[in-house]
Amino acid sequence: MATHETHVPPGSPAGGSLDYAIVIPTVGRPSLHELLGDLAAQTGPRPREVVIVDDRRDPTPPIEPGESVRRWAPVRVAAGLGRGPAAARNLGADLVTAQWVAFLDDDVRVGPEWAKQLRDDLAGLSGTVAASQARLTVPLPADRAPTDWERSTAALEHSHWITADMAFRRAALLAVDGFDERFPRAYREDADLALRLRRAGWELVRGQRRVTHPVRPATRGTSLRVQRGNADDALMRRLHGPEWRTAAQAGRGRFRWHAATVAAALTALGAGTAALLLARRPRASVGG
């Protein structure tokens, strides 16, 4: 069977071995085309289709996937209108009809055996299994000590139920109404979905396939975006109770990196200026 997988017509599960579609939410990062190139080089079963959800508020210039990935599988680009990754994934899942929906973030890299490994991960799963998570590798610099931001990103290797590479049974997604779009960022929307699936009686498992998640450079706005995740933690507490972190097997994410960054900045400003800023800063309530 494996020797003929690459000759299966696009849009058909290779040899009937796996009925899946790929959904990639994107904000137009250059890394998207690297991922599409990785997919075009796959040696395993082809998906029914690849749906790229363009979640930029202004989708210009339009995203052009390229001919190599189009030769591998049917590809379409859907407008996400900047509503966030939860809404983008829901849109993608609504557009496909395959049994399994494999969500990939636009900044991950997959090896040429990824589709074969996905097939192996999903083969023979019990009908009560809703999703299979990949194993992430976050490469860190070999010639120097990693920064706090790099170490924070590397913690994703041990995180549960993150959707950088996670394949869901479409029926399970529909049964719980998909991702909660009240989570506007790529933060906690995956943990919320995992808790709701488990509450509905579904199981979630970790597969053996691997995906690389490079560290994106931290920018001036990174700390602010991380701080905004406090609102998502508060929503998790409201939806799932004060013990939600334990139930979801979730850590404190990247907030510790943000706190360290703010502390360093205040030290650099000097004690007097720091005291003034702290006095003027409103107190924030952090859920959990």
Tokens of 280: 């003027």
Which among 196, 217, 238 is the end of a domain? 217
Which among 157, 184, 217 is the end of a domain? 217
Q: Quick one: pLDDT at residue 169?
A: 98
Give the CA dihedral 83, 76, 47, 4, nearest 10 degrees: -160
- Looking at the fold, whether 88 and 202 belong to one and the same domain comes out as yes
Give the CA dihedral 83, 87, 91, 94, nearest 10 degrees: -160
d(CA 25, CA 77): 10
Which among 217, 246, 263 is the end of a domain? 217
- Looking at the fold, whether 262 and 167 belong to one and the same domain comes out as no
Place of tokens 């589709």: 115
- Looking at the fold, whether 207 and 82 belong to one and the same domain comes out as yes
- Looking at the fold, whether 166 and 271 belong to one and the same domain comes out as no
d(CA 58, CA 83): 12
* Residue (of 262, 261, 260) closest to 281 by Cα position: 262
Note if the pTM is more than 0.85: no
The answer to whether the CB of 54 falls within 8 A of the CB of 80 is: yes
- Looking at the fold, whether 210 and 239 belong to one and the same domain comes out as no
- Looking at the fold, whether 207 and 230 belong to one and the same domain comes out as no
Phi, psi at 55, each rounded to 5°: -100, 25
Q: Residue 24 is part of a domain; what is its CATH number?
A: 3.90.550.10
- Looking at the fold, whether 56 and 165 belong to one and the same domain comes out as yes
Q: Quick one: pLDDT at residue 281?
A: 37
Residue pLDDT tens, the chain, 288 long: 333 333 333 444 444 489 999 999 999 999 999 999 999 999 999 999 999 999 999 989 999 999 999 999 999 999 999 999 999 999 999 999 999 999 999 999 999 999 999 999 999 899 999 999 999 998 888 888 878 767 776 767 677 788 899 999 999 999 999 999 988 776 668 888 999 999 999 999 999 999 999 887 765 555 555 555 456 677 777 766 776 666 666 655 544 433 444 344 334 445 444 443 334 334 333 333
- Looking at the fold, whether 175 and 248 belong to one and the same domain comes out as no
- Looking at the fold, whether 27 and 109 belong to one and the same domain comes out as yes
- Looking at the fold, whether 144 and 253 belong to one and the same domain comes out as no
Amino acid identity at 39: L
Amino acid identity at 213: H
Beta bridge partners of 113: none
Give 52-66 as a DSSP string: EEE--SS--SPP---
Q: How many domains are contained in the chain?
A: 2
Residues of the domain holding 281: 219-288
Q: ∠ CA(256), CA(107), CA(55), 5° rounding?
A: 95
The answer to whether the CB of 24 falls within 8 A of the CB of 52 is: yes
Q: Quick one: pLDDT at residue 237?
A: 78
Q: Number of helices and strands (H, E) in the chain?
A: 11, 7
Q: Packing angle between helix 271-280 and helix 255-269, nearest 10 degrees?
A: 130
Helix (H, G, I), strand (E, B) or coil at 133: strand
- Looking at the fold, whether 35 and 106 belong to one and the same domain comes out as yes
- Looking at the fold, whether 208 and 113 belong to one and the same domain comes out as yes
